[in-house]
Structure 1
Amino acid sequence: MLLNLADILLLIHPILACTFIFPVIGIVGYLAWQTRQRRLSAPGETKGKISPQVGREHVAIGNLLAAGVVGITLVALAYGVTYGYQGFLDQAKDGKLSTVQVGFVVVMFILTIISFGILMRTRSKLWRGIFATLAGLGIGVLGWQPGIFHRNDEWYVSHYYFGIVASWLMIFAAAIVQDIYQSKKWRRVHIILNSLALILFILQGVTGTRDLLELPLSWQESVVYSCNFDPKSPEFKTCPK
């Protein structure tokens, strides 16, 4: 078998994206369109063709999507922190692994999950704002741990940045879900931000596919990473024989 344990764990994130996240995005998008069509339609035949339950279904599946996006983001961050370049395993090999840092990261993962879980259950506007902020901060802090690849020199096509922003948008959507029934302003905000999230999800599919193509299998890394990746070098894209 060509895949080692690290390679199999790496595939969990894209597998979840393909088999769960993207299908749910399609369902949420369809229900969102149905909900809007029913709201804008005058009483009569057109509105009668759309189930009055479509709004509740949209909210329920939307919350499931938000939880899935946050979850898949945490899966990716956990892999990067552990197996990424200068992550925990690399630090352990070099004798530089700090128990305090490991404990801090574990606590941040736990607090982020708890904060998001409470956000999904509470109805108080104040507490929704507090726990949405805590969950968003948790993802942001975890995203800047050693081992996470950011592609800072090409941030505008970075899978990491697109993913973090998409996660924040999903957290925000979950935080305002009670308000969109009471205010047209929040409904407009909901539509605009989730349309942006849809664009980011499409870009995630593109950049994620690219990143998988660029990543070597774990047992190939020593050879691949010895190649020349400097575009200014005359030996660009060449490897030692």
Structure 2
Amino acid sequence: MDLNTKDLVLLLHPAFAVIVVFPLIGMVVRMAWQTRQRRLEVKTANKSKIPPVVGQEHVELGRWLTGTVVAAYFLGITRSIIDNIQTKELLSKEPFQVVFIGLLYAATIASLVFLYRAQDKLWRGVFATLTGIGLVVLGFQEGVYRLDNQWYMSHFYIGLVAALLMVFSLAIVRDIYQDRANRWRTVHVVLNCVALLLFIGQGLTGSRDLLEIPLSWQEETIYKCNFDKTSPEYKTCPPLAAPK
């Protein structure tokens, strides 16, 4: 199959998710389980065979996971945003909007970097909030494939919520170790169990979207197909356009 540059760019998101994000999720989940098992064994005064360093390694890999999830999110939406800018010639017609989008990318990335470095609870909250706002606003730019009418099974919406949960988890890491009542630890466990289910959903919906999103030279024909289930011509398409 002939893939041009536009199609290869489209594959960056799923390739990054398969090669980097999902293996990291597996390692983080494994270490989370080991960390819990060791804590329970130590609590009952039993000698654990699990090394003490597993907890710190879990934290470090979790920090990496947050960054990779946000990176995958950016890879998923950026191509659509750039396509929309080029197609509608926004650089010449609406230059302020293009500049705003560029500044928003920079501000979101900067906020995430500062979140990694922030020590104080207030600043961690501020930078986590700014990062989340940036992810949401960028995701709702025109041209992003969101499947709004089926949001409950949308790859975009599930990915956005998962990314926000990862940012929140990064923001509360220090609180987990400072809270002797373990309330933040409980919040962390519950939210990341939800995030794990969302990542499973990402695997399913992402595979589906790869089938639904056509290659660049197929778009002109595919987007003219009849997808109205009430129509007698449902799932019929015009002749395939010749490759450009």
TM interval, short-chain normalised: over 0.9
In the alignment, what sits opposite 2:147?
A: 151
Query: C-alpha deviations, 1:139-173, integer Å up to 9, x for none?
Result: 01101111112111111100010000000000000
Q: 1:178 aligns to what SS in structure 2?
A: helix
How big is the shift at 1:43? 2.7
**2:91–2:98 Cα contact (<8 Å) kept:** no
In the alignment, what sits opposite 2:45?
A: 43
In the alignment, what sits opposite 2:56?
A: 56
Q: How does 1:62-101 map to 2 (within 5 A)?
A: 62-83=62-83, 87-92=84-89, 97-101=93-97
In the alignment, what sits opposite 1:220?
A: 218
Matching residue's letter, 1:40: L
How big is the shift at 1:226? 1.6
Q: Indicate the larger mover: 74-83 or 121-130.
A: 74-83
Q: Which runs of 5+ in 2 are unaligned?
A: 240-244
**CA–CA distance in structure 2, aligned partners of residues 153 and 224 of structure 1:** 19
**CA–CA distance in structure 1, aligned partners of residues 230 and 70 of structure 2:** 38
* 2:40 is the counterpart of 1:15: no
Q: How does 1:1-241 map to 2 (within 5 A)?
A: 2-41=2-41, 42-45=44-47, 47=48, 49-83=49-83, 87-92=84-89, 97-183=93-179, 184-241=182-239
**CA–CA distance in structure 1, aligned partners of residues 59 and 238 of structure 2:** 55
Q: Which runs of 5+ in 1 are unaligned?
A: none
How big is the shift at 1:230? 1.1
**CA–CA distance in structure 2, aligned partners of residues 95 and 8 of structure 1:** 24
Q: What is the root-mean-square deviation of aligned Cα atoms in Å?
A: 1.3
Query: C-alpha deviations, 1:97-139, integer Å up to 9, x for none?
Result: 4111110000000000000001011111110000000000000
How big is the shift at 1:227? 1.2
Matching residue's letter, 1:204: Q
TM-score normalized with structure 2 length: 0.93
**2:73–2:159 Cα contact (<8 Å) kept:** yes
- Identity over aligned residues, as a percent? 49
- Bigger relative contact order (CA 8 A; separation at least 6): 1
**2:85–2:91 Cα contact (<8 Å) kept:** no
Equivalent pairs, count: 235
